[in-house]
A and B are shown apart, each in its own frame.
Chain A
């Protein structure tokens, strides 16, 4: 079973993502900000990370840069999942090491499609 870490400060978004991911047979973990996510990744790297941009304590972008420099941090596929849907944001995320990008709001088909593109679904 593949594992997915959902990093979002919104409980509602985490719950929606968890529901979709569990129907796709993922083992789901959650983190409410980038710092918490880094701690979880230090214990065990997930196969894929669904990552919000704007969060308290540590943003998605800061998390991504720290993850990619950490031991084993190149391993997880990272899919940004955010309301920031401008081309400049997308380009910045890809340059920082994101593998894919989901513009919120999203539905099951969108998420499944992006997970297939990064090769984990």
Chain B
């Protein structure tokens, strides 16, 4: 594909890369965050013997280039993979309680979708919390689907191996002892935890949505990178995959209000959203 070069305060090559990112993912990289372009793409330049972003953009646009998929790699490198275990723990506790309530009202195995799972800490956190809830209440462990747009992040999520720094962010030591084991200087989630998760790649603005309905969808810290119009698109695509009475979980500071009529704040669970009744 050819990368367009919009005019703007950034240089032409950086502007082209920003446009590529938005075209593929809906994510915006404003001038304040454009410093990430250089730092994120430097390894790719070095590996290819390129010295400037202009040369990289020329390589992407070169139809005769033997390197297919270079644009995908550039986009992947620019995606923010910031995450941690039990991020915003109070919200996750609310989600688990909501799940327990749902099963109490209509007994079933819950279906949960972590729609932007990054390197996997969020779905593993949910799996740990629901395993503990299962011990306490006898509910069936839920089916947890974990997706991300980034193949690089998804490979790490599937491996479920974390550095010493990653494993210590947000994960209480007792849970680490119960659910992880040391392997090759990393900490690996035990098989009994990994096997509770189903991974797949998902572009929230372009790919068909997963089949079936979900009880809980987590889509945290995604909307903040999207334009207002694209936020509406993503929310309108998520709403139909929620069961009636299902819940959407957004990041702190994110909301459906002003972006869609298909979802409204839950009256029962503060900070969560449910499909609007039509």
Please report A residues at the B interface, Cβ cutoff 8 Å. Answer: 85-87, 90-91, 94, 100-103, 106-107, 109-110, 113-114, 117
Contact = CB atoms under 8 A, between A and B. Distances in A.
A90 B178 CA distance: 12
B204 to A, nearest CB: 27
A90 B165 CA distance: 16
Contact of A113 (B169, B177, B181, B182): B169
Contact of B177 (A94, A107, A117): A94
A101 B164 contact: no
Contacts of A107: 165
Contacts of B169: 109-110, 113
A69 B155 CA distance: 48
B164 A90 contact: no
B170 interface: yes
B164 A103 contact: yes
B211 interface: no
Contact of B170 (A86, A87, A101, A113): A113
Interface string B170-190: 101110110001100000000
B168 A103 contact: yes
Given A87-B181, A87-B182, A114 B168 contact: yes
B230 interface: no
Contacts of A102: 168
A87 B165 CA distance: 16
A94 B84 contact: no
Nearest to A98: B173
A62 B116 CA distance: 45
A104 to B, nearest CB: 9
Q: Which 10 A-B pairs have the closest CB atoms?
A: A101-B173, A110-B168, A113-B169, A117-B172, A113-B170, A103-B164, A100-B173, A109-B169, A90-B177, A110-B169
B168 A106 contact: yes
Given A87-B181, A87-B182, A94-B177, A110 B165 contact: yes
A77 to B, nearest CB: 12
Contacts of A109: 165, 169
Given A87-B181, A91-B177, 6 more contacts: A90-B173, A94-B173, A94-B174, A109-B165, A113-B168, A114-B168
A100 B172 CA distance: 7
Contacts of A91: 177
Count chain B CB atoms within 10 A of each CB in A86, A101, A106 and give the residue with the most: A101
A121 B47 CA distance: 43
Contacts of B181: 87
24 contacts: A87-B177, A87-B181, A87-B182, A90-B173, A90-B176, A90-B177, A91-B177, A94-B174, A94-B177, A100-B172, A101-B173, A102-B168, A103-B168, A106-B168, A107-B165, A109-B165, A109-B169, A110-B165, A110-B168, A113-B169, A113-B170, A114-B168, A117-B170, A117-B172
A102 B173 CA distance: 8
Nearest to A106: B168
A90 B176 CA distance: 10
A99 to B, nearest CB: 8
A51 to B, nearest CB: 13
Contacts of B182: 86-87
Interface in B144-171: 164-165, 168-170
